[in-house]
Amino acid sequence: MDYKPVGVGKTVRSVRRTMPEAGYWKRFQSPVLVKEYGMVTSLEFSPAKPYDLLVTAAMRLQIYNGRTSQLKKSITRFNGQARSGSYRSDGKLLVAGDDSNLIQIFDGSSRSVLRTLKGHMDPVHVTRFLPDKTHILSGSDDKTVRVWDIPSQTAVNVFEDHEDYVRSGCVFASNANIVATGSYDHTVRIWDIRANECVTTIKTDDPVESVLGLSGGSVVAAASGPNVHLFDLLMGGRTLTTLGNHEKTVTSLCMDNGGGRLIAGSLDHHVKIYNVQNFKMMYSMAYPAPVLSVALSPDDTRLAVGMASGVFSLRRRAVSAKEQAEAAAPARQLRAGTQAYFLRGATHKGDDHDLRIEQRRKRSLADYDQYLRKFEHSRALDAVLANNRTGLTVVLLLQELVHRDALVSALAGRDELALDTIVRFVVKFIDQPRYTNVLIKVAETLLDIYGDLLHQSGRIAELLVRLRAKVRTELRLHEDLSMLLGSMDMLMAACKINHAGATVAAETASSATAASASVTSSVKA
Amino acid sequence: MGAKAIVPATVRSDKHKDPKKSKSKKPKSRPAQLLIDSRADVADSLMTPIVEATISAQDTSIYRAIELKLVSGGLLTNDPIVFSNDSSLFYLAKDNAVAVYNVQNGEMVQNFSALRDSEGLDRAAIKSIVADSQSQHGVYTFSADHKARLWNADSGEQLGSWDLEASPTYVAADPLKPARFFCALRRRRQRGGQVVSRYTVCRIELNADGTMQRKDLFKANNLLGLAVRSDGQWVAAFSKFRVHVAQIRADERIVRHAWSMTERVSAIAFHPTEPVLAVGDWRGRIVFWFCVDELEEDTEDREIVRRTHHWHAHRVNAIAFAGNGLMLSGGEEGVLVMWQLLTETRDYLPRLGSDITGIAVSPDQMNYAITLRDNTVRIVSSVDRSLVSLLQGLKFAERGVALTQGLKLAENHGIEQMRRARALDADPFTTGLVVHPVTHALVLNGEPGRLQVFSPLSDRHLTSIEVAAYTRVSGTSATNISRPHVDLVQYSSDGTWMATVDSRRADASQGLMSVTSSYLKFWRRDPGDQTYKLASRIDNPHTGGVSSIAFQPVLRKGRESLICVSTGYDYTFRVWELQQTAASSYDMWTCRNSAQYRGLQPKSAAFSADGSTLAVAFSGAVTLWDASTCAAPVGVLVASASTPELKGVSFIGASSYLAAWSDERLDVWNMLTGTVWWTLAMPIQDVFVHQRAELLAIAAYQIPESSTASVMVLSPASPNPLMALHHPGGVEAVALIPSAKSGKSGRSHPDTEQGQPKPDPLDSNLLVALTPSGLLSVYGAESDTPAFASSDSKKAPGLNTSGQAMESSAFASIFGSQTEQQQQQPGKTEMLANAQVRSAMRLVRTAVQSSYVNAPYHVLPPVPSLFNQFATAQLVPVATTASKELVSNTEKMDIDSDTEMVDDEADRKEQAADAWSNAEFLASMRRGFKSI
């Protein structure tokens, strides 16, 4: 039951419905669009600094510098569409398949072909290095999944359980002996390289376009049709959840560095970001063309999205100095007993997601509010007029005086000088539609109080003449407007009658009467 | 009383309107007679009101036993509250009952009434309550039926009764002797066409054998208050312009004196130690009369030394003295003024929200109780002035009582009453009873600019929603202060949105124009704290004001397109649309379109259940519009050429019927045939249409010569009421609220046994009727088990804290002892825990009933707590007799935890033993599960 300042309900401050995280993803700004030679089917950031971007498009691999985003190298040693360019975990070697059934291994710096692996009968869509750096996983349209030994250039494992094209695959950083592949036969299969067999088969409703092992290796995300399924491998492939926020086929998945967010790109032009803890969508971004591939740099600063139009977009997040410093210098271990140790945490401002309990500061009231609180209405009016405040504030105070039935006492007993400001205010704002109601009342009250004394002050009389002129102009404008409205209504009614010739006569009559009624009412107004 | 009364409810068929109707199975119309049980007597009013209402209409007689479940609401603040002798409880009079509350938490502890037999309500109204000085929780009541009674407030047991042979109006205890009182007895007398209340102020002594001794002190007319000094020798009473003082000397000689005053007296009080009588008047002065010491019969007026204390700008409503030389006073300003008489300084407790009408100081001087005009009692700690507890009643009761009793009180408070009536004119009851779609609480006008959310089942004020912010100021009687007023409130069908219309009229004493501004506000429920936050405000949506608003039903949860329609006095209705663009995450409501119809004024609007059709009542016609376009009416329904102006229109649930009503009749249309299905001609006060079920409730105007008003519940298919009752003393508004019990478990009904299930409205719904005096009567189907937790279940938690909490000394409360904290805490936590346990158990029970399939997993309690219930429920058929007993025991335990009657020690031990064996058994079950 506190005192409520004047104008406390002046504006409605709406409640924002955004999550705190949206701000983070919003900071991925200034998209750079780069045109490639064909559809950008695969994107990958180098795991080594400065995190070069490897783009697979048409018959070449393009490497963009991580710092300058300029084209650094281009590998064109393909006889067909290049597929699935991928880095080794040290960023030194590259592997890519192509439509001529080959798998080629390149040196990242010299672009020379180090090995060529032959064996697949159909285009190779998946190539990945295994975490042990000496093996390669490949999947092909000939329905086979192979694991190659690089030194000997032979396939150590050939898995032939899939019944359709193998279009996606992933390796697990934590376990080099397990790989997962997704196929157009609507299954995700988990293979054990040592046992040389399929250990788990997970059925989905649609062809699998992308599989991704989540951090820890116990969960696999699979994009099947418009849905992204999360499967728990420890429970034998039980579905954890299904994220159904996309409208068209999801083509690509990737994780952020911390492993807490899953990023999915889809043919419906959208990239959506999910929290894998609670499976909620955190943010959504729209792109101009169907999205074929997404990648987020290992330092979480660049988001690359490849599209079917042959364009890929690179968004960069501005990194604050604080974050940079944190990344550069991990927390220093403080020695007990030092001053730094004693003062530790004193300057900590709290994280963005922390719940802050603020000390409630005492509101300071404006001078006019303080007067109003003490029922000094006249002085409150003087105060609000004195300091060049906005018209709205003054009008709200006048309205409060009207509500308190204190307008007369606030306006009465003024001399020429004190009256001047209030009359000037009325003259200035009386034609503002929002203020008119109140100011008409103020003007009437002024005339009631001071009407007999007008001849004593030339200054006030002059102001009142101006007021009268302004009101007259306004009235004339209103007359013109209502005439215009009336004639427009007549035109509209005539149009309606012409168009609706076939409709029942009664209805047209009613509309005509309604139109004429509105004309008369507007003229009256 | 006659056994039969014919309600002017006739059913009429409009044969000329629709010839096809003969084919349909419209029931043959015949005047419906309401046969009322002979018990429907006036005298038998609230406690055992009418109850059976039979309707002989068709061959299938629709008979339903209805019972009054409870009466809630009512005015709590008629008189200042009374503290119990040990300051742990306080008493207040609610018509004919005494409600006992705990001081520390404001919970009702006990409620008792003498009205068990056929005594009338008015005659038994309690006029005064006095705490018994001999016992801790004894209390004397003095009621209008000329009786004094002694009660035990803990048990609600009547200990004694005395006949006073006159109506006791003002009573105060004699501090010298227990069971002795100073009392103003009233007799009405006709004098020159004017009723004069003649009072005899006397001292009465109630003896244990039921007899009474009486000693008359003086006589006076039209007394307004009584005060007794703490030494028991001085008694003062006042009327408008007179103060009477009497001294009872040690030799039982009585010295009387009376003075005429120039200013109207409003309150008097004796200083406990100084020889001072404090007199408050209408100009806001408190005058100290140093008259108590040397008063003789012939003392002149001017010989008395006086001293004026003046702070109040308006009249002083209450004066009270606290022990340490502190005087408390309060009035219309809503400021409690604490006068430090020794140092002549004042201290204030400002902005209490409403006029102060009474102040009471607890016997141990620890708490002050402030009674406010808006039906609120605040208990404030005397030490740090913090709020100890707050008791809020139905705000409607205050205005209701002011209007209904205005005439009665006019003799005493003429001008004041007129002023209040005028203030209430500016703040009428416009929202009606609105049922919140999720919580099923009632939402209605509260204080100016606010909405009150009230639970009729628990008789509890839930919250108050501030719709229009304003600073409450008080003015002199000449000024015309305008306060904001909430005109309308509506909720979207899922409760996510609330729309309100509030207006503020300013027709000051000067000037020609009255500036009325109205605001349409849209509020969104914050899922976090479940409060409504303002999302959009539209200034002056209609010039002249808004007459109704309606939301489109939300069909699919999470669908964000929503429209709302408002009808206004500017002959248009407008459609508002929720704008939620992806770019801006702000919710915004904008006007989509506006429409007119033949220059008529729209009064009401409603959406069909699927949200596709909008019905707007223009004068006597109901126009139908396509909700998606609203370009031109797609249909017009006119019942007859002479239909009076319609007050409201609504689709009835998901059925194909539409109801349109005016002051005199109600038409129900079948939208499939486009014809009037039936018509009911009766004076209609209020119609409530249930949003989910296909039901409507109608309240009729009170017929002048009868003392009751009829209320009926109908199904749209037929004009024969499913249920009808006569409510004593008029009905302001009705509402149907879903009861806690689901409709499925309704006991079998004669009609359902014949194979044709009939909607049984009161099995799953309760009928709430709001009387003009602010009482909420809740009716439900007669049943053996209560459909909801009655207020009795709250007795225990209140009592828990009452015991030792008040023993704390002043020292402890000043320096904040830990023991006090600990004493208070267990009660609270226990209550919390009990509430949690109760809600968890309820969930468990529903989950067990629904076989775990219907409730989403995230609302279920954790599996371990479900397990026991589940296992025991599953094991019933295969268990042996021993385990059967086990199961029944667990069920018993549930009930016990619900009603919290665990005070029986032996019972508890037995249960513990059972629970132990139960636990052992369940543990083995768990092991079994694990091995699987």
Q: Is the model's pLDDT at A260 over the cut of 70?
A: yes
Cβ-defined contact of B585 to A510 (cutoff 8 Å): no
Task: Based on the fold, state whether residues A412 and A312 are members of the same structural domain.
Answer: no
Cβ-defined contact of A404 to B536 (cutoff 8 Å): no
Task: Based on the fold, state whether residues A89 and A159 are members of the same structural domain.
Answer: yes
Residue A523 lies in a domain: no
Cβ-defined contact of A16 to B586 (cutoff 8 Å): yes
Q: Is the model's pLDDT at A212 over the cut of 80?
A: yes
Q: Is the model's pLDDT at B182 over the cut of 90?
A: yes
**Cα torsion B808, B809, B812, B814: sign:** positive
Phi, psi of A477 (to 5 degrees): -60, -45
Q: How many CA atoms lie within 13 A of A513 on its CB side?
A: 9
Give strand pairing partners of A405. Answer: none
pLDDT of residue B29: 37
Task: Based on the fold, state whether residues A53 and A119 are members of the same structural domain.
Answer: yes
Q: How far is A136 from chain B (nearest CA, A)?
A: 42
Task: Based on the fold, state whether residues A101 and A29 are members of the same structural domain.
Answer: yes
* Chain B, nearest residue to A404 by Cα: B481
Task: Based on the fold, state whether residues A311 and A440 are members of the same structural domain.
Answer: no
Q: How far is CA B618 from CA B105, B599, B604, B770, in A?
A: 51, 9, 8, 28
Residue A243 lies in a domain: yes
Domain boundary residue among A319, A334, A350?
A: A319
Write the pLDDT tens digit of every residue in B866-906: 676 667 666 655 444 444 444 444 444 444 444 444 344 54
* Chain A, nearest residue to B596 by Cα: A514
Chain B residues inside the 8 Å CB shell of A445:
510-511
Q: Nearest CB to A9: which of B469, B482, B508?
A: B469
Cβ-defined contact of A14 to B536 (cutoff 8 Å): yes
Residue A428 lies in a domain: yes
Q: Is the model's pLDDT at B829 over the cut of 50?
A: no
Q: What is the mean pLDDT of residues B346-365?
A: 91
- For chain B, what percent of residues have pLDDT higher than 90? 24
Domain boundary residue among A282, A301, A319?
A: A319
pLDDT of residue B37: 34
pLDDT of residue B103: 92
3-state secondary structure of A192: strand
Cβ-defined contact of A399 to B537 (cutoff 8 Å): no
* Chain A, nearest residue to B476 by Cα: A405
Residue B577, judged by CB atoms within 10 A of its CB (0-12, 13-18, 19+), counts as middle
Question: What distance separates the 2 farthest-apart alpha carbons in chain A?
Answer: 113
Structurally, how many domains does chain A consist of? 2
Q: How far apart are CA B868 and CA B890, in angstroms?
A: 10
Q: What is the mean pLDDT of residues A278-293?
A: 89
Best to test chain B binding among A2, A355, A372, A403 (most B CBs inside 10 Å): A403
Q: Is the model's pLDDT at B275 over the cut of 90?
A: no
Cβ-defined contact of A514 to B353 (cutoff 8 Å): no
Q: How far is A362 from chain B (nearest CA, A)?
A: 17
Q: Nearest CB to B469: which of A8, A404, A437?
A: A8
Q: How far apart are CA B783 and CA B739, in angstroms?
A: 13
A-B Cβ pairs (cutoff 8 Å, strict): 101
pLDDT of residue B28: 38
Cβ-defined contact of B587 to A399 (cutoff 8 Å): no
Residue A74 lies in a domain: yes
Chain A residues inside the 8 Å CB shell of B596:
514, 517-518
Task: Based on the fold, state whether residues A289 and A193 are members of the same structural domain.
Answer: yes
Range scoring the smallest mean pLDDT among B399-413, B439-453, B508-522, B714-728: B399-413
Residue A58 lies in a domain: yes
Summary mean pLDDT of chain B: 74
Q: Is the model's pLDDT at A142 over the cut of 90?
A: yes
pLDDT of residue B305: 86
Q: How far is CA B136 from CA A120, B90, B95, B230, B516, in A?
A: 97, 12, 24, 19, 55
Write the pLDDT tens digit of every residue in B500-545: 999 887 664 444 445 678 899 999 888 777 889 888 889 889 988 8
Q: What is the mean pLDDT of residues B316-344?
A: 91
Range scoring the smallest mean pLDDT among A16-20, A346-350, B452-456: A16-20
Residue A147 lies in a domain: yes
Q: Is the model's pLDDT at A181 over the cut of 50?
A: yes
Residue A6, judged by CB atoms within 10 A of its CB (0-12, 13-18, 19+), counts as buried
Task: Based on the fold, state whether residues A372 and A307 are members of the same structural domain.
Answer: no
pLDDT of residue B857: 57
Q: Is the model's pLDDT at B53 over the cut of 50?
A: no
Domain boundary residue among A319, A351, A376?
A: A319
Write the pLDDT tens digit of every residue in B192-218: 777 778 899 999 999 888 888 889 999
Q: Nearest CB to B504: which of A403, A408, A448?
A: A403
Strands (E) across B540-664 are located at: 546-551, 563-568, 573-579, 588-595, 602-607, 613-618, 621-626, 635-638, 646-651, 657-662
| Whether the Cβ atoms of residue A91 and residue A47 lie closer than 8 Å to each other | yes
Write the pLDDT tens digit of every residue in A64-73: 998 888 999 9
CATH number at residue A30: 2.130.10.10
Give one word for B872, left, alpha or beta, with left for phi > 0 and alpha for psi -120 to 50: alpha
Confidence bin at B787 (pLDDT 50/70/90) = very low
Higher pLDDT, A278 or B103: B103
Confidence bin at B311 (pLDDT 50/70/90) = very high
pLDDT of residue B189: 75
Spatial neighbors of B770 by CB under 8 A, at least 6 apart, are B73, B396, B433, B444, B731, B732, B733, B734, B735, B776
| Whether the Cβ atoms of residue B7 and residue B56 lie closer than 8 Å to each other | no
Write the pLDDT tens digit of every residue in A353-384: 777 777 777 778 889 999 998 889 999 999 99
- For chain A, what percent of residues have pLDDT higher than 70? 91
Q: Is the model's pLDDT at B913 over the cut of 70?
A: no
Task: Based on the fold, state whether residues A75 and A187 are members of the same structural domain.
Answer: yes
Residue A336, judged by CB atoms within 10 A of its CB (0-12, 13-18, 19+), counts as exposed
Confidence bin at A525 (pLDDT 50/70/90) = very low
Let me know how long chain B is.
932
- For chain A, what percent of residues have pLDDT higher than 90? 51
Spatial neighbors of B94 by CB under 8 A, at least 6 apart, are B74, B75, B76, B111
Higher pLDDT, B346 or B798: B346
Q: How far apart are CA A501 and CA B631, in angstroms?
A: 17
Cβ-defined contact of A448 to B511 (cutoff 8 Å): yes
Question: What are the tokens at A310?
Answer: 């042959």
Task: Based on the fold, state whether residues A297 and A204 are members of the same structural domain.
Answer: yes
Higher pLDDT, B477 or B147: B147
Q: Nearest CB to B599: which of A12, A18, A517?
A: A517
Task: Based on the fold, state whether residues A181 and A287 are members of the same structural domain.
Answer: yes
Let me know how long chain A is.
525
Q: Rg (Cα) of chain B, in Å, rounded?
A: 31
Confidence bin at A61 (pLDDT 50/70/90) = very high
Q: For chain B, which residues lie within 8 Å of any Cβ of chain A, measuring from their own Cβ?
A: 351-353, 468-473, 475, 479-483, 504, 506, 508-513, 515, 517, 524, 526, 533-537, 539, 571, 585-588, 596-599, 632
pLDDT of residue A299: 87
Q: How far apart are CA A397 and CA A384, in angstroms?
A: 8
Q: How far apart are CA A113 and CA B480, in angstroms?
A: 94
Q: What is the mean pLDDT of residues B788-793?
A: 37
Chain B residues inside the 8 Å CB shell of A9:
468-469, 537
pLDDT of residue B604: 94
pLDDT of residue A226: 92
Cβ-defined contact of B524 to A18 (cutoff 8 Å): no
Task: Based on the fold, state whether residues A109 and A242 are members of the same structural domain.
Answer: yes
Q: What is the mean pLDDT of residues A85-108?
A: 92
Higher pLDDT, A280 or A315: A315
Best to test chain B binding among A14, A270, A523 (most B CBs inside 10 Å): A14
Question: What are the tokens at A5?
Answer: 């300042």
Range scoring the smallest mean pLDDT among A95-109, A121-135, B57-71: B57-71
Residue A483 lies in a domain: no
pLDDT of residue B482: 80
Phi, psi of B534 (to 5 degrees): -65, 130
Write the pLDDT tens digit of every residue in B537-546: 898 899 888 9
pLDDT of residue A14: 55
Write the pLDDT tens digit of every residue in B83-94: 998 889 999 988
What is the pTM assigned to this prediction? 0.65
pLDDT of residue B164: 86
Cβ-defined contact of B511 to A517 (cutoff 8 Å): no
Task: Based on the fold, state whether residues A306 and A451 are members of the same structural domain.
Answer: no
pLDDT of residue B172: 92
Cβ-defined contact of B508 to A16 (cutoff 8 Å): no
Domain carrying residue A436? 367-475
Q: Is the model's pLDDT at B756 over the cut of 70?
A: no
Cβ-defined contact of A16 to B585 (cutoff 8 Å): yes
Q: How far apart are CA B335 and CA B333, in angstroms?
A: 5
ipTM over 0.90: no
Cβ-defined contact of A403 to B586 (cutoff 8 Å): no
Alpha carbon A116 to chain centroid distance? 44
The enclosing H or E element of A369 equals helix A367-373
Q: Is the model's pLDDT at B412 over the cut of 70?
A: no
Q: How far apart are CA B235 and CA B202, in angstroms?
A: 10
| Whether the Cβ atoms of residue A66 and residue A108 lie closer than 8 Å to each other | no
- Owner of token pair 């008097």: B268
Put the strands of the sheet holding B167-173 in their side by side order.
B167-173, B180-191, B194-206, B212-221
Q: What is the mean pLDDT of residues B284-291?
A: 90
Write the pLDDT tens digit of every residue in B705-719: 777 888 888 888 888
Instruction: For residue B483, count other CB atoms closer than 10 A to its CB.
Output: 17
Q: How far apart are CA B199 and CA B183, in angstroms?
A: 9
Q: Nearest CB to A403: which of B482, B526, B597?
A: B482
Residue A177 lies in a domain: yes
